[in-house]
């Protein structure tokens, strides 16, 4: 009842996956801080409850709630976004297989694909999805998976998931999309034909920068293969983290709509500032993917990036002058966070590689929280003034 597909996302964030209420039951599901559960004698092992299997009541509630939010048959909660990405890929690839991935990826995902998968005999080709034909040019008879991240970290490009989705279907391969920057509020990935939607739930889904988690959603057959690997490799979520994540999800739509609004207003404001060379935000008319983002995004997101004039020293001065926004990696929380990818997500890539991805020195990534707009403008004004004093 509480998972009905016709319910609003705000309703599903609160009630999705919840058991039918019974008199005397707590309104807030308790943390079931137990590793294991009594089993009946002679019960088949598939029914055993054990927290590494992902079937502890807190884990199972999140799985049902996320599936309801994504509009998928099934979901699984894992102990990090990287666990969700890595195990989803491993669930469909064997040694000798091939994966095609967008070249615009979170740095650690890029390292997983360029160093770890080849070590396991999986070949990876990177493509530039701004050329929609690039996907088809890169596939081979051994291609088992396609991987896209949108909006991209940290350049906020938006590429059409329907292009690799159609190709994946034709090939019998799995399209995996990392939708962390969008959250289910801003993009309805399953409706666009994505076979496996993954998120770092550490970010917008949790929303309070107080947990590490990942989710994967798709058909029962896709998700059960990932769950089988979670049992083997072990990145299962702690019940208390699942409980915290449930608390975060209850306000997901409120937070994200506020973050969408504030980020759009700030993007327009940064665009007017002389100290700023370029603003990357899909909601701006000048953004290269604005038309597509307008078609496929319900909101343009709480992430925005910009390049300040004066390169690395200007970006450092900007960061040091901030008094409200916090200089820290990660994103999607209620507090505004600022980071320079050359120090964080893309630290392992060379300056040339970063430049090829559109990340010159001076690039700043802003995760907009839920603070007051004017307070943020005042803080960023101080940052821009400091940046302009460096050159």
Q: Examine the residue annotation and report whether 131 is marked as an active-site residue of this protein.
A: no
Q: Could you give the count of Cα atoms lying within 13 Å of 109 in the half-sphere of its Cβ?
A: 28
Q: Which is nearer to ligand PLP, 300 or 314 (CB)?
A: 300
SS3 sequence, 334-380? CCCEEECCCCCCCCCCCHHHHHHCCCCCCEEEEECCCCCHHHHHHHH
Binding mask 189-208 for ligand PLP (x = CB under 6 A): -----------x-x------
CB 325 within 8 A of CB 289: no
Q: Which of 110, 203, 258, 342 is catalytic?
A: 203
168: tokens are 């994946």
88 binds ligand PLP (CB under 6 A): no
CB 77 within 8 A of CB 215: yes
Q: How many chain residues are in contact with ligand PLP, going by CB under 6 A?
A: 14
CB of 384 to ligand PLP, least distance (A): 25
Binding mask 92-131 for ligand PLP (x = CB under 6 A): --------------x-------------------------
Using CA atoms in the order 228, 229, 230, 234, what is the torsion angle rounded to 10 degrees?
130
User: Which span sits near ligand PLP by CB under 6 A: 78-86, 186-194, 228-236, 289-297?
Assistant: 78-86
Q: Of 82, 146, 205, 256, which lies in the binding site for ligand PLP, with binding defined by CB under 6 A?
A: 82
CB 87 within 8 A of CB 235: yes
Phi and psi for 87 in degrees, rounded to 5? -75, -30
Q: Examine the residue annotation and report whether 65 is marked as an active-site residue of this protein.
A: no
Per CB under 6 A, which of residues 135..164 are in contact with ligand PLP? 149, 153
Residue that has been written with the tokens 């992902």 in this structure: 54
Q: Which is nearer to ligand PLP, 227 or 388 (CB)?
A: 227
* Residues of the shown chain interacting with ligand PLP in the complex, contacts defined by CB under 6 A: 80-82, 106, 149, 153, 178, 180-181, 200, 202, 212, 214, 330
Give catalytic residue positions: 52, 106, 178, 203
């Amino acid at each position: 009842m509480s998972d009905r597909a016709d319910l609003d996302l705000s309703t599903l964030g609160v009630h999705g996956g919840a058991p039918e209420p019974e008199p005397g039951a707590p309104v807030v599901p308790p943390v079931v801080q137990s590793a294991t559960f009594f089993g009946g004698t002679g019960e088949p092992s598939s029914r055993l409850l054990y927290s590494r299997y992902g079937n502890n009541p807190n884990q199972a509630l999140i799985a049902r709630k996320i599936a309801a939010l994504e509009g998928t048959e099934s979901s699984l909660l894992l102990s990090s976004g990287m666990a969700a990405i890595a195990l989803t890929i491993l669930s469909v690839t064997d040694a000798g297989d091939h994966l095609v991935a967008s070249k615009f990826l979170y740095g650690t995902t890029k390292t997983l694909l360029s160093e770890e998968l080849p070590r396991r005999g999986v070949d990876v080709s990177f493509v530039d999805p701004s050329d929609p034909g690039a996907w088809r040019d890169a596939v081979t008879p051994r291609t088992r998976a396609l991987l896209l991240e949108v909006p991209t970290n940290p350049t906020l490009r938006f590429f059409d998931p329907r292009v690799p989705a159609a190709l994946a279907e034709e090939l019998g391969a799995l399209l995996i999309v990392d939708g962390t920057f969008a959250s289910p509020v801003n993009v309805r990935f399953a409706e666009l034909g994505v076979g496996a939607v993954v998120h770092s739930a550490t970010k917008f889904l949790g929303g309070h920068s107080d947990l590490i988690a990942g989710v994967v959603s798709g058909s029962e057959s896709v998700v059960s293969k990932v769950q089988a690997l979670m049992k083997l490799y072990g990145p299962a979520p702690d019940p208390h983290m699942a409980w915290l994540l449930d608390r975060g999800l209850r306000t997901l739509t409120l937070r994200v709509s506020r973050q969408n609004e504030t980020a759009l207003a700030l993007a327009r404001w940064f665009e007017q500032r002389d100290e700023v060379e370029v603003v990357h935000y899909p909601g701006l008319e000048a953004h290269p993917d604005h038309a597509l983002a307008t078609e496929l995004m319900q909101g343009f997101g709480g992430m925005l990036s910009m390049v300040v004039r004066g390169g690395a020293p200007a970006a450092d001065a900007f960061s040091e002058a901030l008094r409200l926004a916090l200089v820290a990696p990660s994103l999607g929380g209620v507090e505004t966070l600022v980071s320079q990818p050359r120090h964080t997500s893309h630290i392992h890539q060379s300056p040339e590689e970063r430049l090829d991805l559109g990340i010159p020195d001076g690039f700043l990534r802003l995760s907009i929280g839920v603070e007051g707009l004017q307070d943020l403008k005042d803080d960023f004004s101080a940052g821009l003034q400091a940046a302009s004093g460096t050159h």
